[in-house]
Chains A and B, each alone.
Chain A
């Protein structure tokens, strides 16, 4: 039993918190921010604990392996979770005072799913964790949006449904693909594809179809191009604090899954999936940047920018090298903090400004310079301008990709970064140069303010001193891809 505790200590803790919150709300319902703060503090405790109890080992039959890779992801998801909770405390207390606990519980379930996902080495566990992560997200997309103030269009159903239908279609594809793969290889362990075919020339056509269907399924969760259509509409419909979490954590988990499956398991038969991955990465970069150009709603713009960023991350995975994977982790880590920060600031400005369009958040830097400054730093990080984390992230990714020979994609990426800068600067232009019709400073709640400050700390800190995270990423990546 002790071995189980050692392996799944953190996941147990997260689920325990979820249960605690639910029960507490059931028996002693109270409105206000207490529930949120309790969840955040407890999660903080778990994150702190993760630095002490670093047990590594494997579950029976190698179904779950806990190593540096998992620890890195656990800490990343916990951080994202804490910030996600902090960000939504104020909004929830205002919007649905009586039904806060369910929001946090579902969030924690999804978090638990992600943390387990990082260590899964067996298809069954992987799929189940993947679904555990996805299900709560469908619900949270529609949370509290069905009965908001009159000014806000009731897009609950729409946001939830768009995510749900594409999600369900993808999971259908994944399962069917998996059936073919598991059937042909005969084992549920995520390992190299043993070429069942007699002539041993390469995997049978059926296996190839299966593998690519599975890749398509995971592509959805990451928001890569053919499967990205849900992203902008859901970001616009769903509650913004949740969208901050949605835009970051599931993508990190999706990338982790891709790493486990493609680099960990199917690294030998890369000739099957690599071309597809490269096309998806390139297409994501192009579509993400070009669709973002004309956007006027900040959430949609950040949605498309997310798709473009994922294009860069997939490029790093396609390098198939340990350094490449390490830089993916670095990129994902910076992306997590940056995007959380951007959405939180946007949420604060929109709450006060009465809308998410660039016109409504105009003149933000005049009204509250610190908030405007924070937004500027986050935009810089997304655009890859020096001395914020994003600069290092983007350059390291391009470096490793170039080192692995993906020259054309790097050139495409570098060129599209310029297009990217244009729409990031349009946001900066509206906050700095346009003068909005309001002059009152934007009042962020204490929790939201704290979340923004934490994100700012990480983004600027990593920008000035990236070494620790680079080393941690290298150490973690060793778990999946051995060698250079």
Chain B
């Protein structure tokens, strides 16, 4: 077990140790602060390990060690371990850094919680980091699935952190059920893979139709976890959780796990062009649809949630177009600036004590640092040239231009315009314009909250330039090419921003806003899902419950009843009169004799 694997294992096991300590020693957890310190220490160690790994790792090398986990008949059926290669190292770094920033941010953000729930919060964070790292460094698809489900668990627990709120309770359960429904795909994929290759390795050579089957099933899981079109309804509701949680899980890391799975299982997806085609279309549709919905949200976190959906659509489309690195690069940059945006929103909400954009306005004077960092994030997301977003998004668009049809390309172009447009809207509504009542006595957040914002602002600015280094590590080709797409894209981005300034600068509502608002309220997808749950699932179970209690059980009661009833009715034969008894004796003897003779 060379040193690289031991560091990776450290990154995974230290957070687990921290979480277990907090669980096993309730007084430590209930004390609040010490638990937080322990978990942040664990994240620090993990981040240090990932940075060390980054420095030590030479490009292209893949080192994997596996410990047999389930051994049947001498052969290792399933094994767990660590796999260090370019993709996992970068992802590990991204996850650890964002997690560290969010945890530091939470120190201040959650300070008015009771010590025991404060402790619980950080324990769950440590557990999340462990799960995410397990997923990232997984050597085979089975461990990846394990991390996948554990991440789903921590998302359930963290969304429902304030479990006294009924809406939070509903949102957390909804999130878990939707992802669990989608994970069914993952399980079937694993089964199909196991039947074909008696193993869970993603480098397996499969026949095209098995590859299509496996990849299609995997993609179903990705649609669930990364909130793609039909299964995206749980993400906006997931905003019920504390904002740092939204920042970490529902922006940067967890929802990106789906994309990471496709990047990780690229050898399989390469063998299934049909699935890539589907991914391309689903990604594009999600991007456009989510962008439209983001435009009309009044809650700042919902805007960012739909924006995440839309950007994930981008990544999925990129992977659909066959370039794994494009998706991965956008995933990396998106993680940083979306986390920055969410934390910025968190700082604003903490100051204004409300999520609604209407309550905010003119915060630039009261909260300069937040405004600056939030601005950098917004511009990077919008794709303003020079910032990180521009490089990764345009590389995605460049891939599309080359390989996919023109319709997805145009859809994504429209999305980049809409993205710039709604981000402009947020900037203006929140920071520009006159000061709202609530904004009047808002004040800049403390240092603990601002430090992470600044730390995250750096990669939001500079990450774009690391494209080359990243590509070299993960063995893909990348070059900043100045063709038609980047020019058109950046023009659209700037146009979007200016449009937002013009429209929202003078306080007018977005054009054709009415249509979009009705679109959001009447979001048929959400209602179909709840309808399916309430009427189909609960309806069928009610029928099953009735049938079991009154038919299957009824039948058995009936059998019991008839036996006893027959006993009661037959009882009348015992008349009590002596003649009948004598008659029985004589007739009995007569019958026996008759039968004996006639035989």
Please tell me if the beta carbons of A166 and B589 are within 8 angstroms of each other in the complex. no
Instruction: Tell me, yes or no, whether A292 is within 8 Å of chain B by CB.
Output: yes
Q: In the complex, what residue of chain B is closest to A168 when comparing beta carbons?
A: B582
Chain B residues with Cβ below 8 Å from A211 are 596
Known: A173-B585, A293-B563. A208 touches B578 (CB 8 A): no
Chain A residue numbers with a CB within 8 Å of B570 are 290-291
Is A46 in contact with chain B by the CB < 8 A criterion? Answer: no
A261-319 with Cβ < 8 A to chain B: 271-273, 275-276, 279-280, 290-295
Residues of chain B within 8 A (CB-CB) of A162 are 578, 581
A13 on interface, CB distance cutoff 8 Å? no
The contact string, 1 if C-beta is below 8 Å from chain A, for chain B 566-579, is: 11101100101010
Which B residues are CB-close (under 8 A) to A226? 584-585, 587-589, 591-592
A464 to chain B, nearest CB (A): 33
Q: Does B586 contact A (CB under 8 A)?
A: yes
Chain A: CB-nearest residue to B581: A229
Contacting residues, chain B, for A212 (C-beta < 8 A): 589, 592-593, 596
Mark interface residues in A415-458 (1 if CB within 8 Å of B CB, else 0): 00001001000000000000000000000000000000000000
Cβ contact of A165, chosen from B566, B571, B581, B599, cutoff 8 A: B581
Taking the complex as formed, is A233 at the interface, i.e. its CB lies under 8 A from any CB of chain B? yes
Is B581 in contact with A208, judged by CB distance below 8 angstroms? Answer: no
Tell me whether B567 and A166 are in contact (CB under 8 A): no
In the complex, whether A219 has a CB less than 8 A from a CB of chain B is yes
Q: Which chain B residues border A165 with CB–CB below 8 Å?
A: 578, 581-582
Taken residue by residue from 23 to 53, chain A's Cβ proximity to chain B (1 for < 8 Å, 0 otherwise) reads as: 0000000000000000000000000000000
A-B pairs with CB below 8 Å: how many? 92
Within 8 Å of chain A (Cβ to Cβ): is B580?
yes
- Whether the Cβ atoms of A169 and B586 lie closer than 8 Å is yes
CB within 8 Å for A216 and B596 given contacts A161-B578, A293-B563, A294-B571: no
Q: Looking at the complex, which one of B576, B588, B589, B599 makes contact with A275 (CB distance below 8 Å)?
A: B599
In the bound complex, residues from chain A placing their C-beta under 8 Å from that of B566 are 290
- Residues in A whose Cβ lies below 8 Å from that of B564: 293-294, 422
Interface size on A, residues (CB 8 A): 40
CB distance from B596 to the nearest CB of A (A): 5
Verify A216–B581 contact, CB threshold 8 A.
no
A215 / chain B contacts, CB cutoff of 8 Å: 592
Cβ–Cβ contact A276 & B592, under 8 A: yes
Are A229 and B574 in touch, CB under 8 angstroms? Answer: yes
Smallest Cβ distance from A359 to chain B, in angstroms? Answer: 17
Say if the beta carbon of A321 comes within 8 Å of chain B: no
Q: Which of A213, A280, A291, A419 contacts B563 (CB 8 A)?
A: A419
A381 CB within 8 Å of chain B: no
Q: How many of chain B's residues have a CB under 8 angstroms from any CB in A?
A: 26
B72 within 8 A of A: no
In the bound complex, do residue B596 and residue A220 qualify as a contact, i.e. CB atoms below 8 Å apart?
no
A290-B581 contact, Cβ under 8 Å, with A208-B593, A208-B597, A216-B592: no
B512 close to chain A: CB less than 8 A: no
Of all chain B residues, the one with the shortest Cβ separation from A161 is: B578
| Residue from the set B567, B589, B592, B599 with the largest chain A CB neighbour count within 10 Å | B589
Q: Do A233 and B585 touch across chains, with their CB atoms under 8 A apart?
A: no
Instruction: Please name all residues of chain B whose beta carbon is closer than 8 Å to the beta carbon of A217 when the two chains form the complex.
Output: 589
Task: State how many angstroms separate the Cβ of B151 from the closest Cβ of chain A.
Answer: 52
**Chain B residues with CB below 8 A from A225, complex form:** 588
Cβ-neighbour of B571 out of A216, A233, A276, A291 (below 8 A): A291
The answer on a CB contact under 8 Å between B585 and A227 is: yes
B433 CB, min distance to chain A CBs, angstroms? 77
Contact between A169 and B574 (Cβ–Cβ < 8 Å)?
A: no
Q: Tell me how far the C-beta of A213 lies from the nearest C-beta in chain B, rounded to whole angstroms.
A: 6
Neighbouring A residues of B567 by C-beta, 8 Å: 290-294
- Could you tell me the distance in whole angstroms from the C-beta of B361 to the nearest C-beta in chain A? 73
* A60 CB-CB contact with B under 8 Å: no
Nearest CB of A to B52, in Å: 67
Asked whether A173 lies within 8 Å of B589 as measured between CB atoms, the reply is yes
Q: A232-B574, A294-B564 are in contact. List 14 more A-B contacts (CB 8 A).
A: A162-B581, A166-B585, A169-B585, A170-B585, A173-B589, A209-B596, A213-B593, A216-B585, A226-B584, A227-B584, A275-B596, A275-B599, A291-B574, A294-B568
Q: List 26 A-B contacts (CB under 8 A).
A: A161-B578, A162-B581, A165-B581, A166-B578, A208-B593, A208-B597, A212-B592, A212-B593, A219-B588, A225-B588, A226-B587, A226-B588, A227-B584, A227-B588, A229-B574, A233-B576, A273-B596, A275-B595, A275-B596, A275-B599, A276-B592, A276-B595, A290-B567, A295-B571, A422-B563, A422-B564
